Amino acid sequence: MAAVAAAPSRKTETYTDTKRRDDVRGANISSARSVADAVRTSLGPRGMDKMISSGDGDVIITNDGATILSRMSLLQPAARMLAELSRSQDAAAGDGTTTVVVLAGSLLRRAQSLLAAGAHPTAAADSLHRLAARAVEVLHGMAIPIELSDRDSLVKSASTALNSKVVSQYSSLLAPLAVDAALSVVDPAHPDLLDLRDIRIIKKLGGTVDDTELVRGLIFDKKASHAAGGPSRIENAKIAVIQFQVSPPKTDIEQSVIVSDYAQMDRILREERNYILGMVKKIKASGCNVLLIQKSILRDAVTDLSLHYLAKAKILVVKDVERDEIEFITKTLNCLPIANIEHFREDKLGYADVVEEVSVGDGKIVKIIGIKDMGRTATVLVRGSNQLVIDEADRSLHDALCVIRCLVNKRFLIAGGGAPEIEMSMQLAAWAKELHGMESYCIKEFADALEVIPYTLAENAGLNPIAIVTELRNRHAKGEKNTGINVRKGQITNILEENVVQPLLVSTSAISLACECVRMILKIDDIVTVR
């Protein structure tokens, strides 16, 4: 008699089957929630920062949700999904990375209670989808349109983004800086687009964050080459970006020079000198007086001899420029890179008023300003008293720039301070009453979940969260859409008048992404490990 060896008897296993499903789902939700709880205390202007120390002794202090989550090594797959969520929010909007994770955690908590009450996961997931769509409509209803020419509003949103970070005291300096940098990069042919790769941030230890400045030109975090006493300041500069090497010839194939007597040695030295002199003469003949040399993998870009000749020809040399920086540099200088000495022509040079090497902190940088026909780029020099502060300032500046990018993409603002979340919660709960069945129940629960944001903001500020949230609900029910929590005064005020605003895109993408992530977690009912 054939024993059906493979097909396992599933009859008695139906109970264990669902149990495993529930177990897996419960485990996923719990681990995701614990991740959300970990970053909860970083939310808002009174949020705390986290210090992350890695195995090799590296220490980072940050308030940015995406950074915290990406540095945490998470093993549970659902927890990793939350880290991905934060990253997606970072990519989409730049700010609100902590908000999105806290929202997801709160939605998951409600989902857990819904499942325990007997709702089917698919039903809960579908209602979440409807909720997200409707929430975005509510947010649009609260939105205020702005123009890019309204610099003040832009500065206000950038300030709000910076308020929750370590560098919040410097927001009066950094916010206008970010706005100016961003506006100078926007291409009128593509007014809806802001490519953040056109803004370069250079970090230099020393000074304080107050010394951060926006440079309308180019900065290299390197010294000008002084090995042979070259000039450190050039006016009326003609700049060439070269991708070839000013050094003795070296073939691609391996070669060796065989010398059999002293006279030959002399001759070799002389030939080498003449070769390089020839190159330098050609460079000088085109009128070039500043040379930016790309780092080469094939051989030395410059040798002492070539530096000597270049210095004698009064050419300022900056070497070791990375290959991927070349595009940025040529765009800024409005010139083309030169790959071979034969192609060295005047029309490939860029022009600038001043190129000089300045002492900054305990290092030096090369500054190029007054570039003729400068391309649409900007450079920001960030200073700070220690490396941790500089890194966090860099991340905060990036967030502020992303906020402005959001505004360029979608020109609407909404009030901050928890106002949008309470408004959404209220309107969605009212809408839920008009629906039927399980859907209505699910949507009501999820709508209540949105209140976690003002709750957390108040909590982190040391206020009484329940009193604050109920007061907020009351005011919104009376129709005051723009009331929010003012953490500095510790009360509820019209947050719009207090200039706490954020781009519409940050809130809409936060709610959409959080809902999508929670939907995906809810629909998972088994984990398969592949070895």
Partner 1 sequence: MIFTLRKKIQSLMSILDISKVQDDEVGDGTTSVVVLAGELLREAEKLVNMKIHPMTIIAGYRMAAECARNALLQRTMDNKGNTDKFRSDLMNIAMTTLSSKILSQDKEYFAELAVDAVLRLKGSTNLESIQILKKPGGSLKDSFLDEGFILDKKIGLGQPKRIENANILVANTAMDTDKVKIYGARVRVDSMTKVADIEAAEKQKMREKVQKIIAHGINCFVNRQLIYNFPEELFADAGILAVEHADFEGIERLALVTGGDIASTFDNPESVKLGHCKLIEEIMIGEDRLIHFSGVAMGQACTIVLRGASEHVLDEAERSLHDALCVLSQTVNDTRVLFGGGWPEMVMAKEVDQLARKTPGKKSHAIDAFSRALQAIPTIIADNAGLDSAELISQLRAEHHKENSTAGIDVITGNVGDMQKRGICEAFKVKQAIILSATEAAEMILRVDEIITCAPRRREDRM
The residues that are catalytic are 64, 97-98, 399
Least Å from the CB of residue 496 to partner 1: 28
Least Å from the CB of residue 243 to partner 1: 4
Closest alpha carbon to 498 in 479, 513, 508, 483? 483
Least Å from the CB of residue 344 to partner 1: 11
For residue 318, which phi and psi values (nearest 5 degrees)?
A: -120, 120
Q: Which is nearer to partner 1, 151 or 343 (CB)?
A: 343
**Which residues have CB under 8 Å from 279's CB, separation 6+?**
246, 306, 341
Q: Which is nearer to partner 1, 81 or 463 (CB)?
A: 81
Closest alpha carbon to 349 in 297, 289, 309? 289
Q: Which is nearer to partner 1, 306 or 460 (CB)?
A: 306
Cβ-in-10-Å burial (0-12, 13-18, 19+) of 126 comes to: middle
Query: Would you state the torsion angle of the CA atoms of residues 323, 328, 333, 334, taken in this order, to the nearest 10 degrees?
Result: 100
The side-by-side arrangement of strands in the sheet containing 217-220 is: 217-220, 363-371, 350-360, 233-242, 290-294, 316-321
Q: Name beta bridge partners: 246.
A: 302
Least Å from the CB of residue 479 to partner 1: 31
Least Å from the CB of residue 183 to partner 1: 17
Q: Which is nearer to partner 1, 149 or 340 (CB)?
A: 340
| Residue ranges in contact with partner 1 by CB under 8 A | 1-7, 9-11, 81, 84-85, 87-88, 91-92, 120, 122-123, 129, 190, 193, 195-197, 243-244, 248-260, 264, 267-268, 271-272, 275, 294, 298, 326-327, 330, 336-340, 343, 509, 512-513, 516, 520, 528, 530-531
**Which residues have CB under 8 Å from 248's CB, separation 6+?**
272, 275, 276, 303
Q: Which is nearer to partner 1, 410 or 481 (CB)?
A: 410
Least Å from the CB of residue 380 to partner 1: 19
Separation CA 211–CA 295 (nearest Å): 30
Least Å from the CB of residue 287 to partner 1: 20
CB of 404 within 8 A of CB of 182? Answer: yes
3-state secondary structure of 473: helix
Terminal alpha carbon distance of the chain: 36
Rounded to 5 degrees, what angle do the CA atoms 439, 471, 134 make? Answer: 30
Number of CB atoms found within 10 A of residue 502's CB = 26
Q: Which is nearer to partner 1, 329 or 487 (CB)?
A: 329
CB of 293 within 8 A of CB of 302? Answer: yes
Q: Which is nearer to partner 1, 155 or 504 (CB)?
A: 504
Least Å from the CB of residue 419 to partner 1: 24
Could you give the residue ranges of the DSSP H alpha helices within 380-523? 387-409, 419-432, 437-449, 452-460, 465-477, 504-522
Do the bridges between strand 363-371 and strand 217-220 make them parallel or antiparallel, or are there none, so unpaired? antiparallel
Q: Which is nearer to partner 1, 227 or 326 (CB)?
A: 326
Separation CA 47–CA 111 (nearest Å): 26
- The radius of gyration of the chain's CA atoms, rounded to the nearest angstrom, is 30
